[in-house]
Amino acid sequence: MAEQSVDVLIEGGKATAAPPLGPALGPLGVNIGQVVVDINKKTADFKGMQVPIKVTVDTKTKAYEIKIGTPPAASLIKKEAGISKGSGIPNKEFMADLKIEQVIKIANMKADKLTGKDNEMRVREIIGTAQSMGILIEGKPAQEILKDLSPWRKQIQSGKSELSAEELKKLEEEKKAMQEQLAAKHAKEETEAKQIAESMKGKTRNAIKARMIEAGISDTIMNKYLPADDKK
pLDDT digit string, tens, across residues 121-179? 999 999 999 999 999 999 999 999 999 999 999 989 888 888 888 988 998 999 999 99
Q: 48: pLDDT confidence band, cut at 50, 70 and 90?
A: confident
> What distance in Å separates the CA atoms of residue 163 and residue 176, rounded to the nearest whole number?
19
CB atoms within 10 A of CB 231: 5
> What distance in Å separates the CA atoms of residue 14 and residue 9, rounded to the nearest whole number?
11
Poorest-pLDDT segment among 26-30, 32-36, 92-96, 108-112: 108-112
Helix, coil or strand: residue 10 = strand
CB 98 within 8 A of CB 130: yes
Q: Please name the CATH architecture into which domain 73-163 falls.
A: Orthogonal Bundle (1.10)
Q: Is the pLDDT of residue 45 over 50?
A: yes
Q: Which CATH class is domain 3-68?
A: alpha beta
CB 82 within 8 A of CB 95: no
